[in-house]
């Protein structure tokens, strides 16, 4: 069975969107990737409408099982947080209209899932997304790679049971990054 995840790196200027299929053995394949762009010169309502229409189109075209969205990060400046939150709301509402589950993942969760380090830089994430998905070239811009990383994070975390596998059967089938992420998650759960 394959899990299809639509990942969204929300933003008003650039909203990254990526779709991946992940098999039970954790092999991931990119289905589609892109970026929805809006101009700062447009009114907020027009910008959100452009994002909403693009998300609706992607949801209808690719029919994901789940939508993974980057959780709003509060240490950004206020105007950036507002734009990200507004774009996130549009995406979450579009998924809800279709009865699709939505998962929110922090930037550090995504970095840890893909690279094994929650403090990895964008270049490292892009490099490993390219390798994991067996792409000929890195997805550009970084928002596109981030969307794919979000989709991978969710699939590995919830869809394929990577965290549970980290200490049980199948541990050897995890990549080093998946193993590090799953072990960190298991440690965090034990510390609660």
Binding site for Mg(2+): what residues are annotated?
9, 70, 143
User: Phi, psi at residue 153, to the nearest 5°?
Assistant: -55, -50
Contact, 130 vs 138, CB < 8 A?
A: yes
Through-space distance between the first and last CA atoms of the chain, rounded to whole angstroms: 32
Catalytic residue list:
9, 70, 143
CB atoms within 10 A of CB 89: 16
Q: Describe the strand order of the beta sheet including 66-70 as a list of residue ranges.
A: 28-37, 14-23, 2-9, 66-70, 102-105
């Amino acid at each position: 069975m394959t899990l299809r995840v639509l990942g969204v790196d929300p933003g008003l200027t650039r909203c990254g969107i990526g779709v991946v299929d992940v098999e039970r053995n954790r092999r991931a394949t990119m289905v589609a990737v892109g970026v929805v762009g809006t101009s700062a010169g447009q009114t907020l309502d027009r910008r959100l409408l452009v994002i909403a229409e693009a998300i609706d189109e992607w949801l209808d075209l690719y029919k994901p099982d789940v939508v993974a969205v980057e959780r709003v990060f509060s240490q950004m400046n206020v105007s950036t947080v507002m734009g990200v939150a507004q774009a996130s709301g549009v995406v979450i509402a579009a998924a809800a209209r279709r009865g699709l589950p939505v998962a929110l993942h922090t930037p550090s969760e995504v970095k840890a899932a893909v690279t094994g380090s929650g403090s990895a830089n964008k270049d490292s994430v892009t490099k490993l997304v390219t390798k994991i998905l067996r792409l000929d070239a890195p997805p550009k811009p970084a928002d596109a790679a981030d969307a794919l990383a979000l989709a991978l994070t969710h699939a590995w975390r919830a869809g394929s049971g990577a965290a549970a596998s980290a200490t049980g059967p199948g541990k050897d089938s995890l990549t080093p990054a998946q193993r590090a992420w799953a072990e960190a998650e298991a440690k965090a759960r034990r510390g609660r």
